[in-house]
Homo-oligomer: A and B are copies of this chain.
Amino acid sequence: MTSKQRSAPASLATVAAAAGVSIATVSRIVNGETRRASAETVERVRKAIAVVGYHPNHAGRTLRRRESRLVAMLAPNLDNLVMAAIAASTEAALRAAGYVMILCDTHDRPDLQDEYLNAMRSQVVRGYIMVASVPSAGLKDFVADGAPMVFVNRRPPFGRGAFVGIDNVKAGADAADMLWSAGLRRCGVLAPAQGSSVTRDRLKGFCGRMRALGVTEIPAAEAAGRSHLEIGYEAARRLAARNGWLEGLMCVSDQIAYGAYRFARESGIVIPERCKLVGIDGNPLNRWIAPWLRSIEVKYEDFGEPIVELLDHVWHAGGDAEHIMPHGVA
Contact = CB atoms under 8 A, between A and B. Distances in A.
Interface of A: 1-2, 4-6, 55-60, 62-63, 68, 70, 77-81, 84-85, 87-88, 91-92, 95, 100, 102-105, 115, 118-119, 121-124, 141, 144-146, 229, 258-259, 261-262, 265, 284-285, 287-291
A102 B287 CA distance: 32
A80 B290 CA distance: 16
A255 to B, nearest CB: 9
Given A84-B78, A290-B289, A146 B59 contact: no
B105 A5 contact: no
A265 B291 contact: yes
A102 B94 CA distance: 14
Contacts of A85: 79
Contacts of A78: 78, 84, 87-88
27 contacts: A2-B144, A4-B144, A6-B145, A55-B118, A57-B122, A58-B124, A59-B60, A59-B63, A59-B124, A60-B63, A70-B123, A77-B88, A78-B87, A79-B84, A79-B284, A80-B84, A87-B105, A91-B104, A91-B105, A100-B119, A102-B103, A258-B285, A259-B288, A261-B288, A261-B289, A262-B288, A262-B291
A90 to B, nearest CB: 10
Contact of A288 (B59, B95, B258): B258
Contact of A58 (B56, B123, B261): B123
Nearest to A263: B288
Contact of A84 (B68, B84, B285): B84
A287 B289 CA distance: 12
A280 to B, nearest CB: 16
Contacts of A123: 58-59, 70, 100
Nearest to A116: B100
A64 B56 CA distance: 15
Contacts of A119: 100
A291 B263 CA distance: 12
A146 B3 CA distance: 9
A79 B68 contact: no
A95 B88 CA distance: 22
Nearest to A1: B144
A57 B288 CA distance: 47
A100 to B, nearest CB: 5
A160 to B, nearest CB: 9
Q: Which 7 A-B pairs have the closest CB atoms?
A: A59-B62, A78-B84, A103-B103, A2-B144, A59-B63, A58-B122, A258-B288
B261 A141 contact: no
A63 to B, nearest CB: 4
A265 to B, nearest CB: 7
A55 B144 contact: no
A2 B141 contact: yes
A146 B5 contact: yes
